[in-house]
Amino acid sequence: MGEYPDWLTQASAPPHRPAIEQATARQRILTKPPGSLGQLEDLAIQLAGLLNTDRPALYHPHIILFAGDHGVTAEGISAYPSEVTGQMLANFVAGGAAISVLARALEAELHVVDVGTLLSDPLAGIHTDKVARGTRNFRREPALTPADLIHALEAGRDAARRAQEAGADILILGEMGIGNTSSASALTAALTDTDPARVVGAGTGLVGDRLAQKIHVISQSLAFHGLMPGRHPPLLCLKKVGGHEIAALTGAFIASTQAGTPVLVDGFICSVAALAAVQLNPSIRDWLLFSHRSAEPGHSILLDALDASPLFDLGLRLGEGSGAALALPLLQLACTLHNEMATFEGAGVSTSP
């Protein structure tokens, strides 16, 4: 790892095999045909192994949203100006954003962390943990210095630890940052050896010539940094074309799972951070649950690279952790069914044909 901290590669514990075996045995005796609840059965068993109990339950979900701005917006690759990032942070605090509404409905704690926005002053209700205001323009120079990258990774680690100390039993990670689909697209191409034209999507709503400009800028940026073709080391990719919030997500994924807390993964931007985290530390993969398939074309490429089967596809591309928040009730209901359904013996239901 050289200049980067050793904690990034410390292994997460494997899922608890006895709990998995006990939960699997319970699924076989519940009053239903085997496998008839599909992925809900798999989720209950998976959570049993992660939570080390044959009766898993999720009572204390926490949502952590990381925010940062991107210098590459100077290249005309976003439908919205960078000022929107800071304005949306105020909206999160005021309770008007989609993730704010979902957090209230789910009775989940919402933590918003400014790890690199253009805001010059701290915003009330936001945890500020940054050493730079926005990244550099990665079309012209590396997005992050090594010190920037280390700080962002550790800001993600520290945010995850704060949530865990507050009692979180599952984490939902999200992001906000104008320009971050461009960064995520560049990272996806560099981490998976994929042509940028297959990866780049509308983001905040680009079409026509402006979408073509986005593809051109990302292709030129990857060439400038020597990141195509091939699959390149994740920390190098994060430094060259990443973002403060994407690096923070990467650190949070690793730290969460090292501490034994499962993470529900959101869409495109969170998934590229998850792939970077898994490539850095493969032991964390078992602790990640994947919520949905985004409308961003690069997301399917990431899901394939992560060998992930998401729970649903609603055509979402908002970010903020919104898709993962929508998936949380499915996990909770999978546990409730697993725990509260009667067994054949208990209900007096015959198992004979």
What is the SS3 assignment for 261-299? CCEEECCHHHHHHHHHHHHHCHHHHHHEEECECCCCHHH
* Mean pLDDT of the chain, nearest integer: 95
Fold of 61-330: Rossmann fold (3.40.50)
Q: Where are the domains of the chain?
A: 61-330
| Residue 83 annotated among the catalytic residues of the structure | no
**β-bridge partners, 110:** 63
pLDDT digits (tens, 9 = 90+) for 111-155: 999 999 999 999 999 999 999 999 999 999 999 999 999 999 999
pLDDT digits (tens, 9 = 90+) for 287-301: 999 999 999 999 999
Residues whose CB is less than 8 angstroms from the CB of residue 59 and which lie 6 or more positions away in sequence, other chains included = 169
Rounded to whole angstroms, the Cα distance separating 218 from 188 reads 11
pLDDT classification of 265: cutoffs 50, 70, 90: very high
Tokens 């990034």 correspond to 8
Up-side HSE of residue 72: CA atoms within 13 Å toward CB?
Answer: 35
Convert 2-38 to b/e letters by CB count within 10 Å (16 or more is b): eeeeeebeeebeebbeebbebbbebbeebeeeeeebe
**β-bridge partners, 182:** none
pLDDT at 100 over 80: yes
pLDDT digits (tens, 9 = 90+) for 189-199: 999 999 999 99
What pLDDT score does 252 carry?
98
User: Residue 108: helix, strand or coil by DSSP?
Assistant: coil
Average pLDDT estimate for 236-242? 98
Up-side HSE of residue 307: CA atoms within 13 Å toward CB?
Answer: 5
pLDDT at 204 over 70: no
pLDDT classification of 228: cutoffs 50, 70, 90: confident
Catalytic entry in 21, 165, 320, 340: 320
pLDDT classification of 338: cutoffs 50, 70, 90: very high
What pLDDT score does 4 carry?
85
What pLDDT score does 335 carry?
98
Rounded to whole angstroms, the Cα distance separating 166 from 172 reads 14
pLDDT at 165 over 90: yes
Instruction: Specify the long-range contacts of residues 84-88, CB closer than 8 Å, at least 24 apart.
Output: 84/178, 85/117, 85/118, 85/176, 85/177, 85/178, 86/117, 86/118, 86/119, 86/123, 88/176
Phi, psi for residue 121 in degrees, rounded to 5:
-120, 145
